[in-house]
């Protein structure tokens, strides 16, 4: 079983997109899939001519779906798989994107900004199908222009203050601002060239035959990157006539066969969003905001005044608990670190009620912070409701008793 290739072709009217895609599809079916069917989503009913000229000659069934809806196109991938198709084609994908836009626009006359998420989700679902199906896929699109706003310059070379839109490139016109050209593994831009007339003496002979040009804008295998391919126009199709196109694109196919077919994961990050549509990041930021507000409110309840002593006490207390002096550094803490600091601060507040005194001396503040840390860490520990003075007296008695028991 051949590893599927994913190809995008776009270009202007008459550049040969449909015929080139048909020739590639016929080559894949005839050479690697025992002439299995080719399935095409054909909203403009253009492939009926290619069916007679190419597929009937090769003895390959061409299944046409003349559906102009995005939904019909997306559903057709599974339908094509069930039909045993080896190649799936959409021509043009541009129409499907426009129909999707019109469907959302129809009810209100415009697309509300909150609907763009739904549109992108539907479009992303189609892209996953395009990449994950075991069929070879070829998506054709119309030419779009990349435009950029630039400053106009006067005759003196200085900016005039006016701007103008300038064409800076081309793109596969589908998917809105994000060109569909990002998705295929091989991307070709098709255009036409006219072969120069031949001079015979003083006269120019010949009409100048049409040449189909394919610029390889992207090849993820690197086999064709940057190449320019030219195919001559033919007056009729003979069996095996796909070889000119096939031989040109064969290096990409062969490189793909050296890889394994990889399925793009369809998993989402919905677990990061709660029932109210809030993300895990939002929740973390909300918890941080709550912790900061609890911190500020508790500090204000302990040392809410504006005297120099209380300002100094706030600074000492904050650094003793958090280990930093900067407010910015504290705000950079994780939620868990912030919540721990707030918990210690609340134990400190409880300590001030036990002491029936708000400490302002640095030594007392630091001693109470250590006790608050123990209270926070050990919970309902023995002596939790004793004052600092009581604990200091008990410690002095213990030290005195230890001295009395030491032999001389």
Nearest to 333 by CA among 321, 344, 317, 322: 322
Please tell me the predicted confidence (pLDDT) of residue 34: 97
Q: Are 153 and 169 in contact (CB under 8 A)?
A: no
Show Cβ contacts of residue 139 under 8 Å, excluding neighbours closer than 6 positions: 7, 8, 9, 89, 90, 93, 130, 174, 180, 183, 184
Is residue 249 very low, low, confident or very high in pLDDT (cuts 50, 70, 90)? very high
pTM: 0.62
In this predicted structure, the answer to whether residue 103 has a pLDDT above a threshold of 90 is no
Please tell me the predicted confidence (pLDDT) of residue 300: 92
Is residue 116 very low, low, confident or very high in pLDDT (cuts 50, 70, 90)? confident
Q: Give the number of C-alpha atoms closer than 13 A to the C-alpha of residue 187, restricted to the C-beta side.
A: 17
- pLDDT, one tens digit per residue, over 263-291 is 777 666 555 556 665 556 677 888 899 99
- pLDDT, one tens digit per residue, over 131-187 is 999 999 999 988 765 545 656 777 777 777 676 655 445 667 666 555 687 889 999
Please tell me the predicted confidence (pLDDT) of residue 27: 97
* Residue ranges of E strands in 105-225: 136-153, 159-172, 186-194, 198-200, 203-205, 210-219
CA 356, 362, 364, 366 torsion: positive or negative? Answer: positive
Task: Determine if the peptide bond prior to 92 is cis (ω within 30°).
Answer: yes
**Burial (Cβ within 10 Å: 0-12, 13-18, ≥19) of residue 8:** buried
In this predicted structure, the answer to whether residue 107 has a pLDDT above a threshold of 60 is yes
Structural domains of the chain, ranges and CATH numbers in brackets: 6-152+161-260 (3.40.50.300), 273-404 (no CATH)
CA distance 335 to 226: 50
Nearest to 22 by CA among 113, 138, 114: 138
In this predicted structure, the answer to whether residue 320 has a pLDDT above a threshold of 90 is yes
CA distance 126 to 71: 9
Q: What is the mean pLDDT of residues 331-360?
A: 88
């Amino acid at each position: 079983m051949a590893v599927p290739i994913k190809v995008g072709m776009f270009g202007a009217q008459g550049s040969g997109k449909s015929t080139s895609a048909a020739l590639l599809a016929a080559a894949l079916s005839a050479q690697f899939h025992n002439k299995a069917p080719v399935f095409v989503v054909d909203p403009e009913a253009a492939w009926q001519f290619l069916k007679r000229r190419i597929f009937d000659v090769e003895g390959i069934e061409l299944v046409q779906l003349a559906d102009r809806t995005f939904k019909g196109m997306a559903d057709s991938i599974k339908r094509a798989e069930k039909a045993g198709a080896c190649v799936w084609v959409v021509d043009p994908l541009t129409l499907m994107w426009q129909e999707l836009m019109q469907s959302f626009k129809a009810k209100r006359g415009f697309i509300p900004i909150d609907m763009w998420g739904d549109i992108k989700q539907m479009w992303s679902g189609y892209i996953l199908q395009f990449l994950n199906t075991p069929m070879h896929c070829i998506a054709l699109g119309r030419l779009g222009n990349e435009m950029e706003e630039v400053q106009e310059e006067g005759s003196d070379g200085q900016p005039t203050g006016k701007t103008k839109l300038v064409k800076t490139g081309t793109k596969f016109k589908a998917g809105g601002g994000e060109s569909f050209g990002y998705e295929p593994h091989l991307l070709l831009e098709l255009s036409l060239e006219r072969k120069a007339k031949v001079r015979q003496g003083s006269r120019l002979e010949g009409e100048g035959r049409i040449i189909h040009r394919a610029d390889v804008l992207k090849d993820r295998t690197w086999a064709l990157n940057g190449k320019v391919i030219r195919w001559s126009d033919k007056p009729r199709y003979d069996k095996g006539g796909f070889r000119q196109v096939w031989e040109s694109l064969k290096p990409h196919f062969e490189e793909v066969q050296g890889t394994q077919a990889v399925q793009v994961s369809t998993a989402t990050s919905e677990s990061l969003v709660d029932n109210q549509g809030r993300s895990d990041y939002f929740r973390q930021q909300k918890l941080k905001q709550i912790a900061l507000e609890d911190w500020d409110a508790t500090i204000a309840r302990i040392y809410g005044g504006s005297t120099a002593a209380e300002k100094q006490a706030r600074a000492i207390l904050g650094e003793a608990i958090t280990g930093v002096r900067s407010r910015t550094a504290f705000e950079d803490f994780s939620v868990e670190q912030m919540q721990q600091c707030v918990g210690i601060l609340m134990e400190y507040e409880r300590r001030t009620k036990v002491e029936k005194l708000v400490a302002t001396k640095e030594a007392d503040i630091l001693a109470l912070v250590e006790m608050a840390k123990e209270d926070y860490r050990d919970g309902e520990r023995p002596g939790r409701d004793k004052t600092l003075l009581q604990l200091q007296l008990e410690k002095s008695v213990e030290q005195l008793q230890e001295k009395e028991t030491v032999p001389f």
